[in-house]
Structure 1
Amino acid sequence: MPTWSQDTYLAALAFAARAHQGQTIPGSDLPYVIHVVQVCMEVMAASDEMVQADLAIQCALLHDTLEDTSTTFAQLQGAFGSEVAEGVQALTKNTHLTKDQAMLDSLQRIQTQPKEVWMVKLADRITNLQTPPHFWTSQKIALYRAEAEIILRELGPASPYLAQRLAQKIEAYRAFE
């Protein structure tokens, strides 16, 4: 028997699919919702390390709704509760900060959340360390890998499994530099 609710998963997936309607994964024609499902799959693979698997799964599916859609914190809170909305907000970059500051600010906010939220950020970066868009420079690729190393260092203690996966992805990503 799973330690998470299929009904909760389906509700979060449907919400994310509606919120990201019409968006595609950058550099492809695939629907963006595939990205959030991939992040969720990584999180679910580490569910034996979790106390609150439902929290992690919902945050994984919803992690980009505040950052990339017109969804509001109040809408998330109303649909999924304060803990999920606060987890998603912690995973959302503050667009009023520089790129470097925004990532560090987000990591600090994530670290105030349950470990399951940390795991979502690890899973997100695992998923994002695929072949970079063709228009990225080697410098941008190196900076993205360096960010992944910071994420691993700061959030890796939340999940030995996801930390190992991210370390492997970081090493493989060096081939693109």
Structure 2
Amino acid sequence: MTQELYQEAMKFAGEKHSEQKVPGTNSNYLLHISNVAMEVLLAYTAKKSFDIDFAIQVAILHDTIEDTNVDFNEVKDKFGEKVATAVQALTKNESLNTKNERMIDSLNRINQLEKEVGIVKLADRITNLQTPPKHWSLEKTIKYSEEAKTISYHLNGKNAYLNNRLDQKIKEYELNIKRL
């Protein structure tokens, strides 16, 4: 992996997410982005079976279209069509009616692309499966766990390390639910 690609993507994401916080915390959103990138790096360390340069750029940029004023063309102009298409696949289509429809649509688009895109989605959900925010209802917390299971099912086989890690995080998350 080249440090220049990492640094360029991180600078872009840092500028675009500069005012965003990790939900339920006072932490800058770069914490989430760096955690997703770390999961991808650890998966690559476990088995060097994917394009780390592509995966790490997508990991760092994965929420730019969904959560900022960045559009596909801006990502494409800066990082290329392949990276922009991957980030677009990781972006929920807000024109679909339900959250479940948006998730399944995104998973279907992810599965049409290179495995690195699925790897990023796995890493993203692993990172998000922390102790549920205190303001979440029990119902929302349970639905989030069910979504994680759906992601695990649809992206099974993308990366053994991350698939196993997601399954373990789901178990830990569900233990936290029982303690609520």
TM-score range, shorter chain: over 0.9
Cα distance between partner residues in 1 of 2:50 and 2:146: 30
1:23 matched residue in structure 2: 20
1:5-34 deviation digits (Å, cap 9, x = unpaired): 110000000000000011100111100011
- Segments of structure 1 that go 5 or more residues without pairing to the other structure are none
Determine if contact 1:49/1:159 at 8 Å carries over to the other structure.
no
Q: Percent identity?
A: 47
CA deviation after TM superposition for structure 1 residue 96, in Å: 1.1
Determine if contact 1:156/1:162 at 8 Å carries over to the other structure.
no
Determine if contact 1:141/1:176 at 8 Å carries over to the other structure.
no
Counterpart amino acid of residue 154 in structure 1: H
Q: How does 1:12-51 map to 2 (within 5 A)?
A: 12-47=9-44, 48-51=47-50
1:163 matched residue in structure 2: 163
Cα distance between partner residues in 2 of 1:130 and 1:167: 13
SS at structure 2 position matched to 1:156: coil
Determine if contact 1:50/1:116 at 8 Å carries over to the other structure.
no
Counterpart amino acid of residue 8 in structure 1: L
Counterpart amino acid of residue 151 in structure 1: I
2:70 matched residue in structure 1: 71
Counterpart amino acid of residue 16 in structure 1: A
Cα distance between partner residues in 1 of 2:138 and 2:129: 14
For normalisation by structure 1, the TM-score amounts to: 0.96
Find out whether 1:114 has 2:114 as its counterpart: yes
CA deviation after TM superposition for structure 1 residue 50, in Å: 3.2
Aligned length: 174
CA deviation after TM superposition for structure 1 residue 49, in Å: 3.9
Counterpart amino acid of residue 156 in structure 1: N
In structure 2, relative to structure 1, the CA distance for the partners of 1:149 and 1:49 (3 Å cut) is farther
1:86-142 deviation digits (Å, cap 9, x = unpaired): 000000001111111000000000001100110000000000000111111111111
1:93 matched residue in structure 2: 92
For normalisation by structure 2, the TM-score amounts to: 0.94
SS at structure 2 position matched to 1:136: coil
Q: Calculate the aligned-residue CA RMSD, in Å.
A: 0.8
- Segments of structure 2 that go 5 or more residues without pairing to the other structure are none
